[in-house]
Amino acid sequence: MPEYCIRLDGESPVRDLRQLAQWLRQNPAIRTRAAITLQPAPTAEGEMGGAALDVIALVTETGFSAANLVLAISAWRRTRPSTPGVTIERDGVRVTVDSGDPAEIARLTRALDSE
pLDDT at 42 over 70: no
Percent of the chain at pLDDT > 90 equals: 61
CATH fold label, 3-43+51-113: Alpha-Beta Plaits (3.30.70)
pLDDT in tens, 50-102: 555 689 999 999 889 999 999 999 999 999 888 888 999 999 999 999 888 89
Please provide the DSSP assignment of 23-70 as one string: HHHH-HHHHTTEEEEEEPPP--TTPPP-SS--EEEEEE-TT--HHHHH
Residue 88 confidence (pLDDT)? 95
With cut-offs at 50, 70 and 90, classify the pLDDT of residue 9.
confident
Helix, strand counts (H, E) of the chain: 4, 5
Domain chopping of the chain, boundaries? 3-43+51-113
pLDDT at 106 over 90: yes
With cut-offs at 50, 70 and 90, classify the pLDDT of residue 15.
confident
